[in-house]
Amino acid sequence: GAVVSQHPSWVICKSGTSVKIECRSLDFQATTMFWYRQFPKQSLMLMATSNEGSKATYEQGVEKDKFLINHASLTLSTLTVTSAHPEDSSFYICSARDPSGSWQFFGPGTRLTVL
């Protein structure tokens, strides 16, 4: 099956710093990728839809200036958490939509801890 990778798998940073998370589709081209956030004991919450070559579409309540998304190529999307604070500590998961449009393949997730 299709593989999506994320890097890093976990990161610890100080409050006020920025953290970049990469999401790559390894064996297919993904014009659309999704970024999710999951707090402990809660379901996945869609943060934004990332479209290659255009601006990301953010869900209501997600600050676009804080969570910067760049989808510069058909196999790479990045999420940058700017000026991270402890409340941003969460599990961030990306997924990539396959060319047929019906399937989403998930990355392994990135555990962010902000001290």
Partner 1 sequence: GQNIDQPTEMTATEGAIVQINCTYQTSGFNGLFWYQQHAGEAPTFLSYNVLDGLEEKGRFSSFLSRSKGYSYLLLKELQMKDSASYLCAVMDSNYQLIWGAGTKLIIKP
CB 67 within 8 A of CB 83: no
Distance, CA of 66 to CA of 56 (rounded, Å)? 13
Nearer Cβ to partner 1 (6/78): 6
Closest approach of partner 1 to the CB of residue 83, in Å: 26
* Rg for the chain, CA atoms, rounded: 13
Closest approach of partner 1 to the CB of residue 106, in Å: 5
Site string for partner 1, 40-79 (x = CB under 8 A): --xxxxx--x------------------------------
Helix (H, G, I), strand (E, B) or coil at 9: coil
Cα 31 to chain centroid distance, Å, stands at: 14
DSSP codes, 53-65: TS--EEPTT--TT
Nearer Cβ to partner 1 (2/82): 2
Size of the site for partner 1 (CB under 8 A): 20
Which residues sit at the interface with partner 1, rule CB under 8 A? 34, 42-46, 49, 91, 93, 97, 101-109, 111
